[in-house]
Structure 1
Amino acid sequence: MTTGIDVLRARRFDLLRGRRVGLLSHQAALTADGATSAQLLRRALGTRLSALYGPEHGFFGQAGAGEHTYTRRHPDWGIPVHALYGERRSPSPEMLTGIDVMICDLQDLGVRCYTYLATLRNMLEACAAARVEVIVTDRPIPLPHVVDGPMPDPRFTGFVAPCALPLVYGMTPAETALWLRDALGLTLRLQVVPMDGWRRDDAAWDGARPAFLPPSPGIKTWGSAMTYAATVFTEALPGIDCGRGTNLAFRVLGAPWLRAEAFCERLAQTPLPGMTLHPYRYVAGAGAYAGRELDGVRLTVTDPARVRPAEASLRVLRALGDMYGATRIWRHKGVRPAWFDSLYATDHVRRSMQNGAALPALFRQWRRDRQAFARTRRACLLYA
């Protein structure tokens, strides 16, 4: 398969001739020969690559989760590298001055609370206001078939819930840009450069994606990208470790009180389509248990078309509470109920979990709530 940026190169950058270019991207956006999209465009355009823009973690990917980044000059090229996760999260009109066309090339996950969605939305809105054309060069996502999780409650709109999408929304960056333009009613000159030779069913095998560099410090592997939506709740529940600071961040769950063999036996009786769990001992790299050896479980997505990571997250939480007591989960030091609600973009999930509500009924409600979104999504899909 060929990513959008490499398709644009094969077209001899026909959309960019004679134009001053801005680039929203990061060092995880690789080309077929291993260069970054920024390096490719610098070689092709020279000084017509006029400005760079970085999402959370920064253009160079050096900042941690939630850490503010700052605008600077590129140390070699001398052009501005604008930070979109700091004092500003949307480009100002001044930051777009002199730009004829904005290229967006981000390795995203297709998960609502992963903040590159919010940054893409903000860039599209700013470019629409400034009358700057946008070109989105496309890349694969881990779970292109999957639509899962709750729709957001408008009261919880924010940077981890920037628009009316379910938690896992199953659209590539270019498809997402088309959806955002229509959903937000933007008057925007938008072009997308689709991938060549990619199909949704290709998500299960490594040859269907470019070489992988972590798009953020916590997503070190494609496997972790697949399980992120199933484990991100741990950001709000520090009594459960997710492997931050290890090579399997967001792919493992552990705690000193967890007994992995028994827990896996319990979950083997629970519907977890497209996912398996296996015992896995590891040393926590960060958080409440940093440096301690933990009994844990390792999550593996076996069928990217069938997995339901948002549903899996609640089945795992319910099993943990049933086996080890809800107090260990919801009353551990440092628990952040408001952040849990922000991640799911509703307080209904937390209240349902704490009140022991039946999960099948909750999941049926999610599916009903997603019906209107599913129709608008279908209209924006670029690949079978």
Structure 2
Amino acid sequence: MKTHKLLSRILLIVFSFSLLALSCKNSNKNKNFKLTTDERKTENIIVAANQTEKYLELLKGKNIAVAVNNTSVIFKNDSINSFEHLVDSLLSLEIKIKKMFAPEHGVRGIVNGGKKIENGLDEKTGLEVVSLYGDNYKPNKEQLKNIDLVLFDIQDVGARFYTYLSTMHYIMEACAENNIPVIVLDRPNPNGHYIDGPIVEPQFKSFVGLHPVPIVYGMTIGEYAKMINGEKWLKNKVQCDLTVIPLQNYTHNSTYTPPLRPSPNLPNDISINLYPSLCLFEGTNVSCGRGTETPLQMFGSPFLNKDKYTFSFIPQPNFGANNPKNKNQICFGLDLSKEKRLSSLNLNWLINAYHATDDKDQFFSRTEFFNKLAGTDKLKKQIEEGLTFDQIKANWQDDLIAFKKIREKYLIY
């Protein structure tokens, strides 16, 4: 009898763990998916990829290269709950896709930020994958050999240091040099409702800021492509044969939550909205939550005053960060997951954290990277000199006025 009871308990425990494992598996399976709080507004916007009647004829009979990731999808049955990857859809229509260009995070969007992407084959389709986030950022002549057209379709989040903008720039540049047309399938900008931040100065130009634009520029990726081309920002001022397939039912004030996470550490609309304000912490010794379940929705470090910053977390390796900053250390900071939607940058969190740190000399632990993210070395100096956010912000207003005049020429919506 005792043996029977023991066996029953063992089976119950095994069953419970099986249910837990299945729950975790399903949770991870849906980890990249999140509905907006306003489904009607999201579903009413028709992304360019869904408007196949506007670009399929341009692809037929040609050898195509695609620049895509996990967000490159066509929504099925007019619902954001059901979708098919753009590549799968085009292949089923007998479009001749010859290779896939991989941006940061890879063509499936699962590689940790900053990690080198390798050339290879896509497991699902068997197509050749050419990394544009490894040995080279720009496709070379050999990689474009026998390609008639490049199709670009990647979800942007409206922050200048999001590297997909730079990937698009180098694709456009390479195609201009090799007389290959580029089609950009437009997608909404979830931070398209405002413009803010310092402009990139020439000496701080980098892969996280190639163009003289503010941190938040208020344009879709299609509009941004038109600006790159029109302002002749490509090398030697070349211009590519560019076609932008526009969105329907979109304005810059539209509320839009990408149904698929744009990158591993942007799991929801809160993180996407906070990203432009929090990413500057990447150039400091402060973590912005990578290695937690809610990245880009908090910040903290072991060096902040724990009496003032009572919220705490411990970064640990996970899906979005193999080796997160301040790994396995208690970080004291703020939980921002309940913050209202921002319509301007908030750098007070950064400024206040600097003044509350125990070791100010080590706060800007990655000064060069911080300056590249900011696009200038002035911001760091202004924070160290004790300027308020309002005083700092006043310094970039004239530049924003000039940028808005440039931006206006390329607006579609």
Query: TM-score, normalized by length of structure 2?
Result: 0.79
Superimposed CA distance per residue, residues 213-272 of structure 1 (whole angstroms, 9 cap, x where no aligned partner): x2222212222111111111221212x221102232111112356578966xxxxxxxxx
Identify the residue that residue 296 of structure 2 maps to in structure 1.
250
Aligned-partner residue type, residue 37 of structure 1: L
Evaluate the alpha carbon distance shift between residue 209 and residue 253 of structure 1 in structure 2; reply closer, same or farther with a 3 A threshold: closer
Select 1:317's aligned residue among 338, 341, 350. Answer: 350
Q: 1:22 aligns with which of 48, 62, 65?
A: 65
Counting only pairs closer than 5 Å after superposition, residues 29-178 of structure 1 correspond to structure 2 as 29-33=72-76, 34-46=83-95, 48-178=96-226
Pairwise CA RMSD of aligned residues?
A: 2.3
Secondary structure of the structure 2 residue equivalent to 1:316: helix
- The residue identity in structure 1 corresponding to 2:353 is L
Q: Which structure has the larger Rg over C-alpha atoms?
A: 2
- The number of aligned residues is 352
1:286-338 CA distance string (max 9 Å, x none): 3215364755321556345xx212xx12x11222234x24x445415x81111
Q: Which runs of 5+ in 2 are unaligned?
A: 1-44, 77-82, 317-323
Asked if the contact 1:135/1:193 (under 8 Å) is kept, the reply is yes
1:272 corresponds to: none
Q: 1:209 to 1:337 in 2, by over 3 A?
A: closer
> Would you say 1:351 and 2:381 are equivalent positions?
yes
**Structure 2 residue 55 is matched with structure 1 residue 6:** no
How far does residue 341 in structure 1 lie from its aligned partner after superposition? 0.7
Greater than 6 Å deviation, 4+ residue runs: none
CA distance in 1, matches of 2:258, 2:352: 37
Call closer, same or farther: CA 1:70–1:330 in 2, change over 3 Å.
same
Instruction: Give the counterpart of 2:247 among 165, 185, 195.
Output: 195
CA contact (8 A) 1:259 1:296 kept: no
**Closer, same or farther: CA 167–95 of 1 in aligned 2, 3 Å:** same
Moved more, 347-356 or 365-374: 365-374
CA distance in 1, matches of 2:156, 2:136: 21
Instruction: State the distance in 2 between where 1:320 and 1:228 align.
Output: 17
Pick the aligned partner of 2:371 from 338, 341, 361.
Answer: 341
Partner residue, 1:308:
344
CA contact (8 A) 1:228 1:250 kept: yes
Q: Which amino acid aligns with 1:97?
A: K
8 Å CA contact retained: 1:3, 1:195: yes
Paired letter, 2:111: A
Report how far residue 181 of structure 1 moved: 0.3
Change (3 A) 1:13 1:300: farther
Question: Any idea what SS the aligned residue of 2:254 has?
Answer: helix
User: What letter is aligned with 1:366?
Assistant: W
Verify the 8 A CA contact 1:31 1:210 in the aligned structure 2.
no
Quick one: distance in 1 between partners of 2:354 and 2:132?
38
User: Counterpart of 2:85 in structure 1: which amino acid?
Assistant: T
The residue identity in structure 2 corresponding to 1:252 is M
Q: Which amino acid is the alignment partner of residue 387 of structure 2?
A: A
User: Residue type matched to 1:235 in 2?
Assistant: E
Is 1:102–1:134's contact at 8 Å kept on the other side of the alignment?
Answer: yes
Q: CA deviation at 1:187?
A: 2.6
- Residue 276 (structure 2) aligns with: 229
Contact 1:52 1:80 in 2 (8 A): yes
Q: Is the 8 A contact 1:227 1:299 kept in 2?
A: no
SS in 2 for 1:96: coil
SS at match of 1:287: coil
Kept in 1, the 8 Å contact 2:218–2:252? The answer is no
- Other structure's SS at 1:51 match: strand
What is the alpha-carbon distance in structure 2 between the residues aligned to residue 359 and residue 282 of structure 1?
27
> What does residue 273 of structure 1 align with?
none
Letter in 1 for 2:87: A
**% identical equivalent positions:** 25
Gaps of 5+ in 1: 264-278
Preserved contact between residue 30 and residue 210 of structure 1 (Cα < 8 Å): no
1:247–1:35 CA distance, 2 compared to 1 (3 A): farther
Q: Distance in 1 between matches of 2:153 and 2:92?
A: 16
Distance verdict in 2 for CA 1:10–1:254, change over 3 Å: same
**Judging changes above 3 Å, is the alpha-carbon distance between structure 1 residues 367 and 293 closer, same or farther for their aligned structure 2 residues?**
closer
CA contact (8 A) 2:230 2:239 kept: no
Q: What is the TM-score of this pair, normalised by structure 1?
A: 0.85
Q: Shift in Å at residue 357 of structure 1?
A: 2.6
Q: 1:12 to 1:113 in 2, by over 3 A?
A: closer
Shift of 1:381: 1.3
SS in 1 for 2:382: helix
Q: Report the 3-state secondary structure (helix = DSSP H, G, I; strand = E; otherwise coil) of the residue aligned with 2:152.
A: strand
